[in-house]
Amino acid sequence: MTNIVLFGKPGAGKGTQAEFLKTRYNLTHISTGDVFRYNLKNETALGKEAKEYMDRGDLVPDELTIKMLQDEVEKHPDTNGFLFDGFPRTIAQAEALDRFLESKGWKVNATIALEADDEVLVQRLLERGKTSGRKDDQDENLIRNRYVEYNEKTAPLMDYYQNQYKFYAVNGIGSIAEITERLSLVIDKIN
Ligand code: AMP
């Protein structure tokens, strides 16, 4: 069982890299952003609750997010491990994840950050917004608000995982294949 948290700011390439890594390491990819968007599109109760936060580029409250993540994990009892993408994003989420995995005899094995400069990422997201249809990628104010949320609530997780000796960082600038190799070097080391 190998559980990896892919960490990084919006636009850092977590989702893109997860697509390659999940095949290479036979892991279950859970993107909380994707699950929220699916619920929004299908107008589920969860989607309706999450909508106002997502529309503003704010984080969805912890209680809702943690419950949703746990439900997703429970759907894959026989997995080799998870690739968490976009979760945890607050200390409360990280603590809940540790407790939840521990209750199953599992743990977070590594947190790997994809590092890139804010201005590069803002441009990347605006580009992505032209084709993704994502409203939160089309409005620069919403994008910048997501960075404010990141700096306030998510950045402290670096210390949280560093204190557990589980934090790794790779350069998130380069070709997709180069970055996959950088991430794989870390995963091969911890395995
Ligand atoms: P993402 O696709 O990861 O950029 O997420 C899109 C949006 O979904 C975020 O701006 C938040 O509103 C919401 N979201 C995704 N993951 C989380 C999370 N772990 N905690 C709170 N909100 C989240």
**From CA 133, how far away is CA 124, in angstroms rounded?**
14
Q: Which atom of ligand 1 is nearest to the CA of 36?
A: 8
Domains of the chain: 4-190 (3.40.50.300)
The verdict on whether 14 is a catalytic residue reads yes
Report the nearest-CA residue for atom 10 of ligand 1.
Answer: 57
Report the nearest-CA residue for atom 15 of ligand 1.
Answer: 33
**Residues in the chain, pLDDT under 70:** none
Alpha helices by DSSP H, listed for the chain, are: 14-25, 32-41, 45-56, 62-74, 91-103, 118-132, 140-149, 157-162, 176-190
Note the pLDDT of residue 113. 98
Note the pLDDT of residue 191. 73
Burial of 131 (0-12, 13-18, 19+ CB in 10 A): exposed
**What is the pTM for the complete model shown?**
0.96
**For residue 47, how far is its CA from the centre of ligand 1 (angstroms)?**
12
Query: What are the tokens at 167?
Result: 């934090």
Note the pLDDT of residue 133. 87
C-alpha pair distances (Å), 127 with each of 36, 104, 121, 138: 22, 41, 10, 8
**From CA 103, how far away is CA 101, in angstroms rounded?**
5
Taken as a whole, the chain contains a residue count of 191
The verdict on whether 124 is a catalytic residue reads no
Query: Which has the closest alpha carbon to 157: 65, 87, 94?
Result: 94
Q: Are 12 and 121 in contact (CB under 8 A)?
A: yes
The verdict on whether 128 is a catalytic residue reads yes
Q: Are 154 and 92 in contact (CB under 8 A)?
A: no
Note the pLDDT of residue 20. 98
CA angle 179, 156, 70 (to 5 degrees): 80
DSSP state of 158: H
Cβ atoms < 10 Å from Cβ of 69: 22
Note the pLDDT of residue 142. 93
